[in-house]
Chain A
């Protein structure tokens, strides 16, 4: 039996390394200082997911910081993936925060550029963008593997860290998107979360390109799934959310049901079908469920998709 050296020893890394199909779910911090919001979400998700993904001022709206919220989630008993955007921090802050997060036991990070300032609630703010997500991934990889800061200075001691990135198979230039993932893998990404997948044929074409580059063996691919709560939400994502590809048929399918619970049930069923289809795609290592302010849907989706119980490691 071969011994695999883990980079961080996190639960998520263990699940993915074991070959089990991983499940993570989004967990957005509140727009206030109330930690019970995180605790309540964790209570819902515990047992259904391998880790919760704690967002970092998502859509450029101020919320409790991802570091403190990730720590709160871990204290509440579910491992966190801490998101880190390049929008709100320069390279000093991004290195300081990861060292501090590690002190608090956070082992997974998701490196993002961040939604543009203009979409949020402080559009007058100056976006930092000192470096981009590619530079962030490489900076963290170098801290972990080379034990060097971005400036080249040595760092004492270890930084156990499982490094994630995001990629959008549905954004232009489409022909470039698999190569872009390759760039992130070369920069040091251990896992990737994709944009929410509604157009499965398009995702399968992207995965063909990913496999042709051999990337599915280099990086763990978590396919993004967003359960649709209503026809209105589906239509909004189709027409107004950048980088989203929501086929009209899906909107029609949800809209064919009555508003309220019937539409929610159809959205849940669609999410389950999507997960089942994605699990069949060679190279998909798990799913990341982004149930936006609808965490309560996650346990039944995971159960209906046949993904319970979650693996346990000692």
Chain B
């Protein structure tokens, strides 16, 4: 799923400057599951903004709403009437949702209230770990289901570098200061368990990054699903 962090409150509050009506729009899919931008979190943020404005003696109307998914046009229709009454919308959807809102309701001002960070998997309760960068050229079949592109700090395709520790940890420490598992130690151990360790020694040529995100926006077309 897509995960996001709420932006710092002061940064969000600064976006409301010069406005007297603000709508906080949540999204009830991915960002709700990571407890960042669902309807409940939209309500909380709206309250925080209203309290701060009241403390400052500022006239500000703040309401909240949520779409089931901000990234689908049909669901945006369900909140269109509400959105129409506000000159400023603070979207708590992921980057896709925010863009969909900005496009659907253009030229209305839609501002991001979250930082979208990754395609992650829950590691434990309230902890997510990035598992995919949508490179467009999946190698998981060769790497026992562990992605070296995203889980190896150097995106190595042919085994571990010289920096794996004896406890199976990467030399690189995570952004939160917590250790990272060496992806290639994980791959090696799982390949052995699958009795497929020879795959470890197969040469994997340089990745074809042209299917990745370096050539402008990627596009997917399903001709078989197009209306006749």
B189 nearest CB across to chain A (Å): 8
Question: Given known contacts A134-B159, A139-B206, is B172 in contact with A172 (CB within 8 Å)?
Answer: no
Question: Given known contacts A131-B206, A242-B165, A243-B163, is B158 in contact with A172 (CB within 8 Å)?
Answer: no
Q: Do B173 and A150 have beta carbons less than 8 Å apart?
A: no
Interface window among A31-39, A46-54, A178-186, A287-295: A178-186
Q: Do A131 and B207 have beta carbons less than 8 Å apart?
A: yes
Question: CA A201 – CA B82 in complex, angstroms?
Answer: 73
Question: CA A91 – CA B168 in complex, angstroms?
Answer: 30
Q: Which residue of B158, B182, B185, B201 is within 8 Å of A135 (Cβ)?
A: B158
* Residues of B contacting A182 in the complex (Cβ-Cβ under 8 angstroms): 201
Q: Do A134 and B166 have beta carbons less than 8 Å apart?
A: no
* Residues of A contacting B211 in the complex (Cβ-Cβ under 8 angstroms): none
Q: Do B162 and A167 have beta carbons less than 8 Å apart?
A: yes
A156 nearest CB across to chain B (Å): 23
Residues in A18-42 with C-beta less than 8 Å from chain B: none
Q: Does A127 contact B (CB under 8 A)?
A: yes
Q: Do A134 and B203 have beta carbons less than 8 Å apart?
A: yes
Question: CA A134 – CA B162 in complex, angstroms?
Answer: 13
Q: Do A172 and B206 have beta carbons less than 8 Å apart?
A: no
Q: Does B160 contact A (CB under 8 A)?
A: yes
Q: Do B209 and A130 have beta carbons less than 8 Å apart?
A: yes
The 8 A CB mask of B35-65 against A (1 = contact, 0 = none) is 0000000000000000000000000000000
The 8 A CB mask of B188-228 against A (1 = contact, 0 = none) is 11000000000011011111010000000000000000000
Residues in A94-150 with C-beta less than 8 Å from chain B: 113-114, 116, 118-119, 127, 129-135, 138-139, 150
B23 nearest CB across to chain A (Å): 35
Closest to B173 in A: A118
Closest to B156 in A: A132
* Residues of B contacting A166 in the complex (Cβ-Cβ under 8 angstroms): 162
A186 nearest CB across to chain B (Å): 7
Question: CA A118 – CA B172 in complex, angstroms?
Answer: 7
Question: CA A48 – CA B182 in complex, angstroms?
Answer: 39
Question: CA A173 – CA B183 in complex, angstroms?
Answer: 11
Residues in A61-88 with C-beta less than 8 Å from chain B: 86-87
* Residues of A contacting B188 in the complex (Cβ-Cβ under 8 angstroms): 173, 176
* Residues of B contacting A132 in the complex (Cβ-Cβ under 8 angstroms): 154-158, 206
Question: CA A249 – CA B154 in complex, angstroms?
Answer: 33
Q: Does B12 contact A (CB under 8 A)?
A: no
Interface hub of B156, B157, B158, B162 (most chain A Cβ within 10 A): B162
Closest to A137 in B: B158
A198 nearest CB across to chain B (Å): 15
The 8 A CB mask of B156-180 against A (1 = contact, 0 = none) is 1111111111101001110000000
Question: CA A187 – CA B182 in complex, angstroms?
Answer: 23
The 8 A CB mask of B104-148 against A (1 = contact, 0 = none) is 000000000000000000000000000000000000000000000
Closest to A180 in B: B159
B55 nearest CB across to chain A (Å): 36
Q: Does B153 contact A (CB under 8 A)?
A: yes
Q: Does A55 contact B (CB under 8 A)?
A: no
Q: Do A116 and B163 have beta carbons less than 8 Å apart?
A: yes
A193 nearest CB across to chain B (Å): 11
* Residues of A contacting B203 in the complex (Cβ-Cβ under 8 angstroms): 134, 138, 183, 186-187
* Residues of A contacting B207 in the complex (Cβ-Cβ under 8 angstroms): 130-131
Q: Do B154 and A87 have beta carbons less than 8 Å apart?
A: yes
Question: Given known contacts A129-B155, A134-B203, A182-B201, is B173 in contact with A172 (CB within 8 Å)?
Answer: no
A21 nearest CB across to chain B (Å): 24
Q: Does A158 contact B (CB under 8 A)?
A: no
A245 nearest CB across to chain B (Å): 9
Residues in B17-34 with C-beta less than 8 Å from chain A: none
Q: Does A195 contact B (CB under 8 A)?
A: yes
B62 nearest CB across to chain A (Å): 35
Q: Do B168 and A172 have beta carbons less than 8 Å apart?
A: yes
Q: Do A116 and B159 have beta carbons less than 8 Å apart?
A: no
Question: CA A187 – CA B205 in complex, angstroms?
Answer: 10
Q: Do A243 and B171 have beta carbons less than 8 Å apart?
A: yes
Question: CA A131 – CA B206 in complex, angstroms?
Answer: 5
Q: Do A171 and B154 have beta carbons less than 8 Å apart?
A: no
Closest to A150 in B: B206
Question: Given known contacts A132-B154, A176-B159, is B205 in contact with A116 (CB within 8 Å)?
Answer: no
Apart from the given pairs A171-B160, A172-B164, 4 other A-B contacts in the complex at a CB distance below 8 Å: A168-B162, A172-B185, A173-B189, A179-B201
Of the A-B pairs whose beta carbons lie under 8 Å apart in the complex, a sample of 25, sorted by A's number, is A113-B156, A114-B154, A116-B153, A116-B154, A118-B173, A131-B207, A132-B155, A132-B156, A132-B158, A132-B206, A133-B158, A134-B158, A134-B203, A135-B206, A139-B206, A150-B206, A168-B163, A172-B166, A172-B168, A172-B182, A173-B160, A176-B200, A179-B201, A183-B159, A195-B162
Name B's A-contacting residues (CB within 8 A).
Answer: 153-166, 168, 171-173, 182, 185, 188-189, 200-201, 203-207, 209
